[in-house]
Amino acid sequence: MKKRLFALLTAAAMTASLAACGQTAQEPAPSSEASGTETAGTETASADSTETDSASQETAGAGDGEEIVLRFSWWGGDSRHEATLEAIEVYEAAHPGVTIEPEYSSFSGYYEKLVTQLASSNAPDIFQVDQGWVAELSARGDAFADLSQYSDILDMTQISESMMTDYCTINGEVQVLPFGYNGTVFLYNKTLLADWCDENGNLQMSTWDDFIQIGKELHEKDPEAYMTTAVTDGYLRYMLKPMLEQITNEIDVQDDFTLGFHEEQMTQAFNSFLEIFNEEVSQPYDEAVLYDSMQNNPLWLNGKIGGIFLFFSNIDTEIAGLDYDFGVTAMPMFEDAQISGQECCPSLMVAINKNSDEVHQRAAAEFMEWFLNSEEASLILGTQRGVPASASALEALESNNMLSELMSQAIQISNDTMSLKNGAYELNASVKSVFVDYMEMVIYGVETPEEASANMITDLNAILQELSAG
């Protein structure tokens, strides 16, 4: 049944999308792309699914005992769409008075479309958002309902207090909730790095000096092998971000639109970052980026890469089909570092439309409670939106052996070593783009670490000034 429903909706989606093919726009890149919740190249995402032309079509009769229609929008690949549609079907069967109308798509154009819908008061009742968009959408004032008013329905105690405070609550209102969460770890090939592991296969690496030394020894032993690689700029961020935060003890971009570092600190981080490439600890960047994913990188497939920094939700994908023994460990640190710089943050968020009427908001809250926290929904959805942020949902997956041993180890490492929260504007598309540009200029020798630090700070301050002005 769900396969038939998915096929019908996809066919309708393809028809609807043809009318919009001529519309192109620039939208922010998802922070979840960096967070590992969108795996490029592994799925074919469907086009936009059918949506109602007007909110009035769904609200008629909603308050007088007639059927309630809730619109729910999200983006993703086919496996996420299928799992979500199956969950919707199960929920509707148990709640005959409620119909969930799905509006699903690939990521491209999703943000622009959502902003347009919000501006015209025609946004879905429930919509998926990326963490990097929350601050900007919240500032509009017309996007997010205050979920705390539905605390009698939504069990928000299932979400960690720190995540609720750091990522979900804005100006005293609970404006979003996390579908899942992610954290950075180092995934390593025990087979290749056996000489640097103890008898239990634990990699003997705790500092950046250890990391670089092992990489140099590995490459000297086997000139085809490298300690790590970066097939996209996201992997560069996994290295530079913790280095910088270990130096500063601050998040990179503060919520008051200031930077958490000065020029000398940025130069220090860039120098350490550049050493990884200059000392051939990493596969040459210009070679690595020819492959848009680890699964396309022949050195990774042939067991010639020691390991990669990544978000733990991507572990199973990155090692699929590889006949090597793998392990996970915490991010390396500088000798005198006080914090790990290890990232632990929501993967994707969900919100209720502020402009939906109270009847629809309450019905949306009831659906969200089931979708986020119930065992039934959790077993259907699995990790399609990351490792569940809800404690009850995570327990359901663990109890039913739906998480690999490596994933469970990585979750524990991430929880034990988590560091500072992401700043509200740290994942802004323009801010991220500046970091990427200067990381690449440093690697390619276009600018020295000193030059890049000064110029990057100038560019970032200009962007933050624009953001603060609204």
What CATH number does the domain located at 182-344+420-468 have? 3.40.190.10
pLDDT at 62: 41
pLDDT at 49: 52
Return d(Cα 67, Cα 58) in angstroms, integer: 9
pLDDT at 48: 52
Instruction: Answer whether 20's CB lies under 8 Å from 105's CB.
Output: no
Return d(Cα 271, Cα 265) in angstroms, integer: 10
pLDDT at 427: 82
3 state SS of 105: strand
Total residues belonging to the chain: 470
SS3 content of the chain, % helix, strand, coil (to 5): 50, 15, 35
- CATH 3.40.190.10 residue ranges of the chain are 2-179+347-389, 182-344+420-468
pLDDT at 132: 86
Residue type (1 letter), 135: A
Whole-number Cα distances in Å, 118 to 112, 144, 286: 10, 10, 41
Bridge pairing between strands 126-130 and 348-352? antiparallel
Name the stretches of the chain with pLDDT < 70.
1-65
Fold (topology level) of 2-179+347-389: D-Maltodextrin-Binding Protein; domain 2 (3.40.190)
pLDDT at 128: 98
pLDDT at 425: 87
- For Cα atoms 66, 68, 69, give the angle at the middle one, nearest 5 degrees: 140
pTM: 0.80
CA-based nearest residue to 419, from 260, 239, 245, 179 = 245
The 10s digit of each residue's pLDDT in 357-411 is 999 999 999 999 999 999 999 999 999 998 999 999 999 999 999 999 999 999 9
